[in-house]
Amino acid sequence: MDPLVLHGLDAAQRAGADYADIRLIEEQYEYIQTKNLTVSGYNKGISRGAGIRVLKNGGWGFAATQKLTRVEIEKAAKRAVQLASASAFCMRQPVSLADEPAYDAFWVSPHLIDPFAVSTEDKLDILFASARTMLGVKGVTLAQGRLSFVKEDKTFASTQGSRIRQVFVRSGCCIEAFATNEDERQRRSYPKHVGQFELAGFEMVKRWDLPGNAQRIAEEAVALLSAPQCPSRRSDILIGSSQLGLQIHESCGHPSELDRALGQEINFAGASFLVPELMGNLKYGSPIVNLVADATAPGALGSFGFDDEGVQSQRVYLVKDGVFNGYLSSRETAGLIGSQRSGGAMRAQSWSFVPIIRMTNISIVPGNAGTLEDLIADTDEGVLFETNQSWSIDQMRYNFQFSTEIAWEINKGKRGRMLKNPSYSGITPEFWNSCDAICGAADYVEWGEPNCGKGQPCQTMWTGHGASPARFRNVAIGIAHAK
């Protein structure tokens, strides 16, 4: 254990803290962007600092520093205690923390190839090979690519005895093909709209095979220019795995954050229709809908060994057999709904931010509808939506609209015409209650969302969403935009 960590705890206690924890974090990062056959962005660096959180008289205080000396750590600890003493005067009731055992642990995320051991030239070769293929398709006017790598070494300690070190390796990749004519522009991206991100090493970039998928997405982008518009009507719809992941993020992940449900997040990003009295009573979805917050899923972007207040990772049901079952919670909020233990969902963007309730991996449990092709064959008429384009959802996470990059008609169990500018909309519980089929584990993917925003000041967070394709009955569909 780094002596500075223990010094920070000792300094906080000497300053009068009733409880204190500290996170010492070193983050190494590399971000590469290409535009056609040139490098359009390159950012590489290291960030290192410590954040100290304390309780004093039932109020929270937090301070951080990137000057990692004993003197500066002690100053930060004293500032945190001063802030906690001040905030205690504003509390309606003092903070009470749910019990959690003390842990002495070392956890490393699964990875095979250290991305920082791979040369920049080798990384660019993958992006440029993809770009050459995309630009070789007539009608493609722009080819873009991105690679992202982060290594985070985090040490956590608390006055309750926990001593935890975790090492995270996160990797991401994306390519995009843009096709343009005199009237409009169409985009196709791979593996999904912002790319795929995983708790993995460089092996995930190889596995997703960007150059091997470049031809297909380029041809689809060009074909979209002449494709018919999505019709406006009510229809059965099939939602592809990555799009369903984002649907889960917006219409289940955010409303199940307990601080929103308790009204603590209204000022910035809205509250939630999932108020506590609905827990165990609301028919959120059909009986086949099971949604979990699973921070234990291997390789998923929102996984960890312990959250940022030392709670061990868990798998928690948010919706079980269609019924709203639970929340993403913290040690502070768990007791407010009668829970004995935190759900382990407190995380911070970096050492300079205080932890808040964040999504882990919010995922739908696979069903028994076979593969996507099986589900298509079982659908008489409908529309298949793939790859997110845009979305809108109200501040209670109730009414929503999503558009995707591409869709296909389904006629008598076969994939038919490609459709452009497709959208679908609905009301969250009505939508999930219309779900009548979920594909199985063979089509299940743990999709990563690297930039979920929340809080003031705003924090971005690594979250995950496991999903298989699914079918929903009698949904409103239409045109996202005419051109």
pLDDT in tens, 416-450: 999 999 999 999 999 999 999 999 999 999 999 99
373-422 pLDDT per residue, tens: 999 999 999 999 999 999 999 999 999 999 999 999 999 999 999 999 99
CATH 3.30.2290.10 fits 3-226, yes or no: yes
Residue-wise DSSP of 37-91: TEEEEEEEEEEEEEEEEEEETTEEEEEEES--SHHHHHHHHHHHHHHHHHHHTT-
pLDDT at residue 218 greater than cutoff 60: yes
- Looking at 76-85, 349-358, 448-457, which range is the least confident one? 448-457
Domain boundaries, the chain: 3-226, 233-479
pLDDT per residue over 156-169, tens digit each?
Answer: 999 999 999 999 99
**Model pLDDT, residue 482:** 55
Instruction: Kindly report the average pLDDT of the chain as a whole number.
Output: 96
Displacement of CA 291 from its chain's centroid (Å) = 15
CA–CA separation, 98 vs 459, rounded Å?
25
Structure tokens at 132: 């050459």
β-pairing, 233-239 vs 422-427, is unpaired
**Start-to-end Cα distance in the chain:** 58
For residues 386, 389, 394, 396, the Cα torsion angle rounded to the nearest 10 degrees is 50
Give CA–CA dist 124/37, Å, rounded.
10
The helix/strand/coil state of 125 is helix
8 A C-beta contact, residue 196 and residue 173: yes
Instruction: Classify residue 459 as left (phi > 0), alpha (psi -120 to 50) or beta.
Output: beta
